Amino acid sequence: MVTTTDHPQAATAALHATPLGRETAYPERYDPTLLCPVPRALARAALGWTGPLPFTGADLWTAFEVSWLNPRGKPLVAIAHLTVPAETPNLIESKSLKLYLNSFNQERLRDADELRARLRADLTEALWRGSGQTPGSVGVRLQLPTEWACEAAAGLPGLSLDRLDVECTHDHPAPQLLRADATQPPVDETLSSDLFKSNCPVTGQPDWASVQIRYSGPPIDQEGLLRYLVSFRQHQGFHEHCVERIFIDIWQRCRPVRLSVYARFTRRGGLDINPSRTSHPQPAPGAVRLARQ
């Protein structure tokens, strides 16, 4: 397990200790020890939020490259949909998850149910590792090829902020761009943008996403919100941390009564990560596949 302190140099060293960005041999046999947990506290401390976090939610992973062998050695394939509660003390570093999933490629299993059970047990253990407790488990759904025909690309619902012709002058998160007009009647709005980009904190590779913001409260200035989202363009952060930062910044600056932030990132290495954070209990958003996914 990756461990760290609040010191930024220790945090950077911890991230570079993960498999991400390093040459690694792909496993030939099932190996759950390949999973590399990263403490969520690594980035949450940098948000400057004291006390309980104002959100709940989940990270929705889609793994497109899942394969195993049946008892006779015939390969089988599936798409795995993983739901990771935001309250887990760790997240899983993405390359380690890919290596772990690939360790099933030559593994003979009784059926898809056995694969599902192993995924749930291994991921749950890694996500709660070091906490001394396991109050929840990971949701695992396997989508077999007989179901693939129903997969269709869509877009995130909401009024597109991308219609606005704005001047963008920031390429690192600029929460000062966020504002809401408390003198106006409260609104219920769903806004979206396909222009989000950040960078991997280890490799520096670009991460692309569509972002949806649902809120109730004073109307948020849409031009400022779009400029704020674009300001992540050179920011380095894991997908989960970016969404949590967006939530915290909007929550503090615009003071909505209710807020949900949902991002769907394009895949890398056969995996996409789609974090959702909300101020109020609600079901996890549907695993819609966007055109870029």
**Is 207 part of the annotated catalytic residue set?**
yes
Q: Would you say 204 is a known binding-site residue?
A: no
- Of the residues 207, 242, 249, 272, which is catalytic? 207
Q: Is 94 annotated as a binding residue?
A: yes
Token readout for 102 is 């690939």
Q: Does 260 carry a binding-site annotation?
A: no
**For helices 239-254 and 222-230, angle between their N-to-C axes, nearest 10 degrees:** 150
> Taking Cα atoms as reference points, which of 286, 258, 257 lies closest to residue 274?
286
Determine whether 168 is an active site residue: no
Distance, CA of 7 to CA of 30 (rounded, Å): 35
To the question of whether residue 269 is assigned a binding role by annotation, the answer is yes
Tokens coding 241 = 């941390």
Q: Which of 200, 242, 249, 254 is catalytic?
A: 200
Buried b (16+ CB within 10 A) or exposed e, 133-144: eeeebbbbebbe
Read off the tokens for 43.
């980035």
Residue 92 labeled ligand binder: yes
Q: Is 197 annotated as a binding residue?
A: no
The count of C-alpha atoms lying within 13 angstroms of the C-alpha of 68, restricted to the half-sphere facing its C-beta, is 24
| Helix, strand and coil in the chain, % to nearest 5 | 30, 30, 40
Sign of the CA dihedral 204, 248, 177, 264? positive
CA distances from 225 to 116, 193, 287 (A): 40, 10, 25
Integer CA distances (angstroms), 43 to 48, 83, 113, 287, in order: 10, 21, 35, 25
Phi-psi region for residue 189, left (φ > 0), alpha (ψ -120 to 50) or beta? beta
Q: Is 240 annotated as a binding residue?
A: yes
For residues 18 and 32, what is the distance between their CA atoms, to the nearest angstrom? 15
Q: Is 95 within any annotated ligand binding site?
A: yes
Q: Is 85:58 a contact under the CB 8 Å cutoff?
A: yes
Binding residues for substrate: 92-94, 239-240
Binding residues: 92-95, 239-240, 268-269
Binding residues for NADPH: 94-95, 268-269
Catalytic residues: 200, 207
